[in-house]
Structure 1
Amino acid sequence: MLKKIFEPGRIGNLEVKNRLIVPPMLTEFAAEDGRLTERYIRYYEEKAKGGWGLIICEDNVVDPYGAGFKRIAGLWSDDMMEEHTELVERVHKAGAKIAVQVYHAGRESSSVITGRRPVAPSPVQDPTQEETPKELTNEEVRELVEKFAQAIRRCKEAGYDAIELHGAHGYLINQFMSPFSNKRTDEYGGNFMNRLRFPIQIIERAKALVGEHYPIIFRISADEMVEGGLTIEDTKIIAQILEEKGVAALHVSAGVYKSGAIVSAPTVIKTAIFSDYAKEIKRVVNIPVFTVNKIIYPMVAESLLKEGKADFIAMGRASIADPYLPMKAKQGKFDEIIYCIGCRQGCQGKIAMQESVSCLVNPKTGKEVEYEIKEAEVKKKVMVIGGGPVGMEAAIVASKRGHEVTLYEKADRLGGQWLLAAIPPGKELLNTLTVWQKGELQRAGVTVALNTEVTKELVVSEDPDEVIIATGANPIVPPIPGADKQHVFTANDVLQGKVDLKDKVVVIGGGLVGAETADHIAVHNKKVAIVEMLPEIARDMESASKQFLLEELKKYEVPCYVNSKVLEIKDSTIVIETLEGKKELEASQVVLAIGSRSNKSLAKTLENQYKITVIGDASVVGKALDGINLAYKTALVI
């Protein structure tokens, strides 16, 4: 079925064994002084072992004052390159080609990170940043041209097969190219060609240092998706000029910081969202074109190549979720691939907090050595109680280490509340994790007991060496007058399909669960409103996912009553207290979504009798990212 993605391809004079690329995605695995760490190197080495054709390492900065993040790799000195050489050698030994992205953040930096006010073509504050940048003088611009070129020279000398200039996503090169950020009227602004002068000078000076044939890839935002920014028609012209200047390939993305929610598209956004941009660019150039963003399945990558939309497929978060995706796809082991679910919690979510990247579906991300699964010295009998994603993860890892593992689930299927999380519109990708975990349980030899509620007596009869309790949490039913009425349900009831929905539903609780449940109800043509005590809806949600969910609620005209308390649930209305006073809302049905409480009952009955570990929501109600990571870690030390 898959043929095109495994055909070799060329980028300038560089031959790549297949069409699958790891695009640059910041990890914050570098040291604060810009040097590469073993963790950084091992992370990319793992991808090389997994069969990717070309790995483009994350944004490496040409000047320490151009860093947009605290732990970002640097290229500003010859003294920094020893670890780069080691990285290149190890990736080559593992069978992949390797490039590195060369960048400067410009106005997307901050004095908090670098100790200096950021610089930019013009003193125009980015809509997402807190500082107005200092305008670069012409002399400073020429100094930066030289810094870029010298960084590229260092990359070639370190052995990188190519470099990628970061001309996208609102960083410095993009800032010069775009009328959204460049308001100059000198040689570096004021018209189309002047705005391109900075990147063209970098390319020309770099080629003078590294030769005409060293491949320079250029990453570009085909459409900045902001008022007054570059459009696809602008970018088609830019692409042709870059080709004429000797760029070897174009890596076509879109967006800048203001439109950044779409740059790493979350779960609800359609697949291959930027592929039509790549197709448009490919129509006007002869050099290879890469497409990127939310390409999860190998079959989609194959189809994009067959359609002629691109020459190479960049799969960033897919490579984080499963570094071995290409190898598994080539062997036809599609059921063994861990698919990215687009949650952004461990990647973009962590980076936004200046923390190192992790992954909800792959706890080994960035911990390839620490989380290596090794056979246990002493084999034990392990009971895992609870068949949600946390319990399944613990059972899988424990069994792979050689323990005798039985997983108990009181329901008739595995997945727990994760199954409900996949019900709202656009969330079906979450089911890929459940399917993968169920397959892994079989492959790892875990005994699964469904329809089995574990009691103290059952534990005593089984007499395990260790017990892992992952029984999750139960919905909270608040002490609101009328909460016990027959037309009052929990969000779980709705998502499980236990409710014949009527019109005029009110959801009490506007957190992630409540907001997504309301969206689910609205999409299915019912009038719904949300009542939330806090000042905002979906406060606990990852930022990009939240943005698109709020847009969806607005589209369906879902009233959201924030700073509001429910006083009473009546037979056909509810009474709420708002900042403006009391209101009475029509409500043929009421849905409770005000949170969950850990299910600790079994753990309490087993205390001081067995070696027990309580994980996931059964311990503390939290995010799946943390719960699955703890499950993996727990099973590693049994």
Structure 2
Amino acid sequence: MMFQMLFSPITIRQMTLKNRAIMPAMGTKFPKDNQVTQQLIDYHIARVKGGSGLNIVEVTGVHAGSIPSHYLSLAEDRFIPGMQQLTAAIHEHGGKAGVQLWQGSIAVASDPTAQVIVASDMPISPEYTIPGASKELIAELIDCFKEAARRAVEADFDCIEVHLAHNYILHSFLSGGINRRTDEYGGSLENRARFPLAVIEAMRSAMPDTMPLFMRIDAHDDYLENGLTIEEVIQFVKWAKERGVDVVDVSRGNIISSGLKYEVPPIDIPFAFNIENAARIKEETGIITMGVGRVNYPALAEEILAEGKVDLIGIGRAQLSDPEFLNKAKAGKLEDIVYCVGCNQGCYDACERPDIPHITCLRNPACGKEREYQLVPTTEQKKIVVAGGGMAGMEVAMTLQERGFQVILCEASEQLGGQFLLAGMAPRKQEMREAAILKGEQLQRAGVEVRLNTPVTEALLKELNPEIVINAVGAQPLQPKILGIENEQVYNYVDILQNKPQLTGKTIVIGGGLVGLEVAETIAETGGAVTVIEMTDEIAKDLGSTRKITVMEQLYIDNVTTMTDTTCTSITDQGVQVMKDGKEMLLECDHVVVAIGSQSRDFKAIEDYCNAQGLDYYVIGDALEPRRALEATAEGAALARSI
């Protein structure tokens, strides 16, 4: 068997897990009114069937007044039946179920009806300060955690995890970077640990001796003055172990600083970035330890476990992008895995954006739609031509092929991947390039006929005679009407990312969105001096918060200058003429790169031909409107199921 350590069993108290792969608790926005939904059950079942050793059900509130409506709750007995349905479904399919108990402190503020509880006084404005939790409230919360643990036992969970990280209330008390109390709950580590340890004791008293207690904790605090050190965390873990904690789940990050980037680490953060911290905690405490953080490949998980650095591995987003990740790894079918690329577009960004109803995944649009997206074989063997081999085109082609249609995918260039392939040329984004190439290989193994260097023309359609044509030809760089844009020293973003010319001297990048900033980084890597100008009031407006942190930090390291509210009016041999604050000025430079976005490619002639011939014609992805890859793959997946 491949990956012997990853797929070896482990027993903790009287819970035996079939392997070392844990699906950690991740917020989904699937619950409604704090209750389990069928959507949440289906999502967990898919990962249990896919081989997950233990599914830890997402953050579950313990205190009735402070739980946003799209989070689960075990604050009252009325929530037990729904949780029992969830655990029964997980058990029925051979899995184990844990639940993560939590009080969210300032993280609940997204719901204006939820009570915000803080460790110590927190000024919000000159007029208002949120008072630190009273001793009466602390006692109440201890009881809330205890009662929630009792309900978790009644709901047939196999283990419980207490959340002691990420700015939530227990971390807020433990961390000297957040807790500024002057009573017996503040000051020394012993005082700051008093409330969290009381919670652990209370929870343990409500659990049978046979049931394991996990604890999620930050390895140390990032970007927080006087924050937790790893030495303090090691001491606290020793105390927690004495009080009945069996497993420590070592995380990183907080939501009040740039440390957020470690909480749901994007593509910019190295693989397994937190494992050495977990290994040190394990070595110095002797506790069973779970490591998490961008362990996206089975071989990496195996290596970490085989070296004895940790005992369990949290594999979260990798199981969002491919619920069969573990089954495929166990069978040695590594080339069939759909790998997470750490884009955070469908998972973390969805939790921040009110316009996205629940988490999903750029690589797996069926995430959160497991029931309705089960593939239904076609009853009609129609021939379908897909024009364009970017992410939208590949998604629709592969899904249609799996349903039994005859699919021919035509790509005008010599390689599949489209904009995703190009995105993978930007700094720190090699994984995207690899994912695009692997998707192309998976597509061809699935039986899709792929024709490269083949633009779709009327003549080709006459030859192939399809019943359906899908336009997924994507987008091309937008060429604004600016005087001087045809000058020799002017490039577009494709020129830079694809060809990586050595631009020495000064370069002005027009456009401060993601693409413009990646262009700026690419040029700065070769030593060029770069200024980015953006006509709106904000740089990186189109990035989710975790990627924005990492990209902006790198721009700072590279000494890239950024200017907002700055509009280019013309380009001359001397530089770029701009309007800023109502004044015209010249920014001298040697090179100019235009990176203000894309426009859909012209496909009007083919559309007219399809209409004239009575062919079914559809448009998806950037060919419809340039947007993020998340929307492109989602449209491909939806269309493929509707035909």
- Which residue of 629, 634, 637 corresponds with 1:629? 634
The alpha-carbon distance between structure 1 residues 531 and 190, as it changes in their structure 2 partners (threshold 3 A), is closer
CA apart distance, 1:2:
1.9
Contact 2:381–2:404 (Cα < 8 Å) also in 1: yes
Aligned with 1:473 (options 472, 475, 480):
475
1:133 deviation in Å?
3.2
Superposed counterparts of 1:111-510, under 5 Å: 113=111, 115-125=113-123, 132-225=129-222, 226-258=224-256, 259-354=259-354, 355-497=357-499, 499=501, 501-510=503-512
In structure 2, the residue matched to 1:28 is: 29
Encode CA deviations 1:203-248: one digit per residue, 9 max, x unaligned: 2222322233421101111212111221111101101111111101
Inter-partner Cα distance in structure 2 for 1:31 and 1:451: 49
Q: TM-score, normalised by structure 2?
A: 0.95
Query: C-alpha offsets along residues 40-95 of structure 1, whole Å, 9 cap, x if unaligned?
Result: 0111111111111111111011123222x431111112221112112212212222
Single out whichever of 190-199 and 99-108 deviates more from structure 2: 190-199
State the secondary structure of the residue aligned to 2:170: helix
Residues 108 and 126, structure 1, Cα contact 8 Å, conserved in 2 = no
Partner of 2:585: helix, strand, or coil? strand
**Equivalent residue of 2:240, what SS?**
helix
**Cα distance in 2, alignment partners of residues 501 and 209 from structure 1:** 65
CA drift of 1:580 comes to: 7.4
Residue identity in the other structure for 2:448: V
Equivalent residues in 2 for 1:615-626, closer than 5 Å: 615-626=620-631
TM-score normalised according to structure 1 size: 0.96
Residues 503-542 of structure 1 mapped to structure 2, 5 A cutoff = 503-542=505-544
Matches within 5 A, 1:558-569: 558-569=560-571
Shift of the 125–169 alpha-carbon distance from structure 1 to 2, 3 Å rule, reads farther
Query: What amino acid maps onto 1:35 in structure 2?
Result: Q
Task: Name the counterpart of 1:575.
Answer: 577
**5+ long unaligned stretches in structure 2:** none
- What SS is found at the alignment partner of 1:477? coil
Deviations 1:258-317 (A, max 9, x none): 221221111111111111210121122122111111111111111211232211110111
Question: RMSD between aligned alpha carbons?
Answer: 1.9
2:611 — aligned with what?
Answer: 608
Partner of 1:94: 93
Asked if the contact 1:473/1:597 (under 8 Å) is kept, the reply is: yes
Contact 1:456–1:605 (Cα < 8 Å) also in 2: no
| Counterpart code for 2:608 | T
Partner of 1:81: 80
What is the CA distance between 1:572 and its match in structure 2? 4.4
Tell me, yes or no, if the aligned pair for 2:490 and 2:591 is still in contact at 8 Å. Answer: yes
1:548-603 deviation per Cα after TM superposition (whole angstroms, max 9, x unaligned): 11111111111222211223222242222222733333332221111111124245
Report the AA paired with residue 622 of structure 1.
R
Partner secondary structure for residue 210 of structure 1 = coil
CA separation in 1, counterparts of 2:381 and 2:392? 22
CA contact (8 A) 2:422 2:433 kept: no
| 1:472-500 C-alpha deviation (Å, 9 max, x unpaired) | 11211122121111221211112221745
One-letter code of the match for 2:546? A
Q: Distance in 2 between matches of 1:627 and 1:208?
A: 50
On the 8 A contact 1:207/1:214 being kept in 2, the answer is: no
Say whether 1:551 aligns with 2:553.
yes
Structure-2 change in CA distance of 1:248 and 1:95 (3 Å)? same
Structure 1 residue matching 2:285: 3-state secondary structure? coil
Moved more, 411-420 or 195-204: 195-204
Once residues 196 and 144 of structure 2 are traced to their aligned partners in structure 1, the CA distance between those partners, rounded to angstroms, is 12
Instruction: Give distance in 1, aligned partners of 2:14 and 2:115.
Output: 40
Distance 2:120 2:540 in 1: 36
CA deviation digits over 1:325-380, x for unaligned, max 9? 11111111111111111111111101012441111000010100111111012221
Distance, in Å, in 2 between the alignment partners of 1:498 and 1:516 is 12
Q: CA separation of 1:408/1:125 partners in 2, compared to 1, >3 Å: closer, same or farther?
A: farther
In structure 1, what residue type is equivalent to 2:584? K
Contact 2:59 2:71 in 1 (8 A): yes
1:598 & 1:622 partners in 2: Cα distance? Answer: 10
1:611 aligned partner, one-letter code: D
Separation in 1 of the partners of 2:179 and 2:239? Answer: 19
Does the CA contact (< 8 Å) of 2:14 and 2:211 recur in 1? yes
**1:132 Cα deviation from its structure 2 partner:** 4.5
Q: Check whether the contact 1:12–1:249 (CA below 8 A) recurs between aligned residues.
A: no
1:59 aligns with 59
**What percent of counterpart residues are identical?**
36
What is the DSSP-based 3-state SS (H/G/I as helix, E as strand, rest coil) of the residue aligned with 2:378? coil
For 2:586 and 2:353, the matched residues in 1 are separated by: 40
- Tell me which moved more, 569-578 or 405-414: 569-578
Given that 2:375 and 2:403 are in contact with CA atoms closer than 8 Å, whether structure 1 keeps it comes out as: yes
> Which residue number in structure 1 is paired with residue 6 of structure 2?
5
Say whether the 8 Å CA contact 2:425–2:433 is kept in structure 1: no
- Residue number in structure 2 paired with 1:589: 591
